[in-house]
Amino acid sequence: MRIPVVVWGFTSDARYAIRHLEDKQVIEVVEWVCEDEPHPNAVNIFLFFSSKFLTNCPSRWWHYYMASAHHIQIMDEIRSYTSEFIEYYLRHDLYKNRETMYYDCQHLFELMLRMAIGLIITTQPHWVFFSNIPHEGFDIILYRVAKMMGVKTAIFHQTLFPNKLLVYESVEQFGGLSHWGGKDDPSTPKVSIDIPNGFSHHPFYMAHIPKKYDKKAFWGGFFKAPLNQKHTYYLTHYDRLISSLQFQENLKKRVSSIPTVPFVYFPLHLQPELTTSALGGDFSDQVLAIERLASFIPSNWKIVLKENPKQSAYRRTPLFFERLDLLPSITWVSPDTPTHLLIDQCEWVATITGTAGWEALTGGKCVLIFGRAWYATFPGVIRYHPAMSIDEFVPFSREELVNAFDRWYHSLADGIIDDDYQCIYPGYTRNENTKHFVTIFQALLDSTPVAS
């Protein structure tokens, strides 16, 4: 008997593995939320980000809605995650999150919660597969409901290392070793890679920094817009322009030079991104993390902040800056300041889950993390806790780091779930990638009892 599964995402080449397993009668995809997938049970993922969600919802989803009516206890327990959903969902409408948008999100949460419960009740899946860490809105509801109703989940996440994946069965496992059955085979060859030695890394995703939203871009778009859309364009983009100019001005007037006294380097995360929203917990509010950091460092130390070069005005309102202004230890530096220079000169790095923490480790410096960073188990990494002391930042050896990295690296699965990462793996082929994912899925499914 085929194993029923619900699939979220897998718009990339990884979809071919799912098609293969269904063609071979191994699985039955009872629902597939994705983009442009010609599957009879597919629903377009963008439906869940649209204000026309109700209008365009497939009829079967209303059946799910009705099926959930008697599951009040589950709804009450999941409702505690409303604020989590709202944070994730608002990323899809960054410049319209007014009061009405907040209450609309509450209504959407209730609708989607009922549909997620009804989906699980009606289709009875054994697994829900997520092609990334849930961080969009409906996916986090579906994840929470699946966990509460005893349905297994598998979460995939691409790493910075060529053709390597993290695979977990819960969000809470992130920061530990990856888990999937195939890597438990002692005959599997253990291949290591050389890790960088120093602070200077060059991640491919930082190669292109988009231009800031400015007056020229605003008026250029306005004049290009059709006549009957100019009014809508103006109303939609004017607030975005004003917010962008305000953000740039607030940042510019605070920028200073690198301090000569001891300092901790805190590179701000790009937001909205899953690195803070999904993996940061309470510290998706980065100011909260900075406030906690300021509470235990010596009084003569500074905290050097560097804004992410790709950051827009999202979550960078005047109150963001004014709140940080209350901390006397804060020093801002230009976003153009080389990261490796700041890591070299600092005492240690503090971050939610950022790559700068990994860059510090490879150069022999400690890192304080506030979220579920992928390198959390490595030597030199200190997890924030309320009783923090600088005495916890102790030296570690290169050998210790290499050994810990090798152990983590050997827990990874082979494959590329995010097509953007094909560029760092020159040997990529769709056939090879499909085989990798078939192996992973099969290992997961083999742990599932099949109903007779």
195 within domain boundaries? no
CB 35 within 8 A of CB 169: no
208/259 same-domain check:
yes
**How many Å apart are CA 283 and CA 292, to the nearest integer?**
10
**How many Å apart are CA 289 and CA 14, to the nearest integer?**
36
208/99 same-domain check:
no
348 within domain boundaries? yes
The percentage of residues in the chain with a pLDDT greater than 90, rounded to a whole number, is 60
List Cβ neighbours of 265 (8 Å cut-off, separation of 6 or more).
304, 306, 342, 343, 345, 346, 348, 349, 350, 356
In 267-299, which positions are buried (b, 16+ CB within 10 angstroms) versus exposed (e)? bbbbbbbbbbbbbbeebbbbbebbebbbeebee
Strand ordering across the sheet containing 27-34? 42-44, 27-34, 3-8, 127-130, 152-158, 164-168, 413-414
137/186 same-domain check:
yes
Closest CA to 130 of 146, 119, 150: 146
403 within domain boundaries? yes
Q: Give tens-digit pLDDT for 343-355.
A: 999 999 999 999 9
Q: What does the pLDDT read at residue 403?
A: 93
What CATH number corresponds to the domain at position 355? 3.40.50
Cα distances (angstroms) measured from residue 400 to each of 80, 145, 379: 41, 40, 7
258 within domain boundaries? yes
**How many Å apart are CA 142 and CA 151, to the nearest integer?**
10
Q: How many domains does the chain have?
A: 2
174/210 same-domain check:
no
125/159 same-domain check:
yes
Rounded to a whole number of angstroms, the CA Rg of the chain reads 23
- Computed over every residue of the chain, the mean pLDDT equals 87
Cα distances (angstroms) measured from residue 149 to each of 30, 31, 77, 82, 169: 17, 17, 11, 18, 15
Q: Give tens-digit pLDDT for 307-343.
A: 988 888 778 899 999 999 999 999 999 999 999 999 9
31/150 same-domain check:
yes
List Cβ neighbours of 192 (8 Å cut-off, separation of 6 or more).
406, 409, 410
Q: Which structural domain range is residue 161 located in?
A: 3-190+414-445
List Cβ neighbours of 229 (8 Å cut-off, separation of 6 or more).
none
179/227 same-domain check:
no
**How many Å apart are CA 198 and CA 204, to the nearest integer?**
17
Residue 63 pLDDT class (50, 70, 90 cuts): confident
Give the mean model confidence (pLDDT) for residues 295-308.
Answer: 96
Strand ordering across the sheet containing 330-333? 330-333, 302-306, 263-267, 348-351, 367-369, 381-383
CB 26 within 8 A of CB 442: yes
**How many Å apart are CA 159 and CA 274, to the nearest integer?**
14
Give the mean model confidence (pLDDT) for residues 247-263.
Answer: 94
Closest CA to 254 of 309, 322, 301: 322
**How many Å apart are CA 234 and CA 95, to the nearest integer?**
13
Give the mean model confidence (pLDDT) for residues 162-178.
Answer: 91
Residue 205 pLDDT class (50, 70, 90 cuts): low
182/212 same-domain check:
no
Residue 203 pLDDT class (50, 70, 90 cuts): low
Q: How far is CA 430 from the centre of its chain?
A: 25
70 within domain boundaries? yes
452 within domain boundaries? no
21/43 same-domain check:
yes
233/172 same-domain check:
no
**How many Å apart are CA 349 and CA 284, to the nearest integer?**
17
153/259 same-domain check:
no
Q: Give tens-digit pLDDT for 392-413.
A: 999 999 999 999 999 999 999 9
User: For strand 127-130 and strand 3-8, is the pairing parallel, antiparallel, or unpaired?
Assistant: parallel
State the maximum Cα–Cα separation within the chain, in Å, rounded to a whole number. 71
CB 3 within 8 A of CB 12: no
Q: What does the pLDDT read at residue 261?
A: 97
Give the mean model confidence (pLDDT) for residues 179-205.
Answer: 61
* Window from 58-72, 105-119, 294-308, 433-447 with minimum mean pLDDT: 58-72
* Window from 72-86, 343-357, 371-385 with minimum mean pLDDT: 72-86
The amino acid sitting at 369 is I
390 within domain boundaries? yes
180/54 same-domain check:
yes
Residue 206 pLDDT class (50, 70, 90 cuts): low
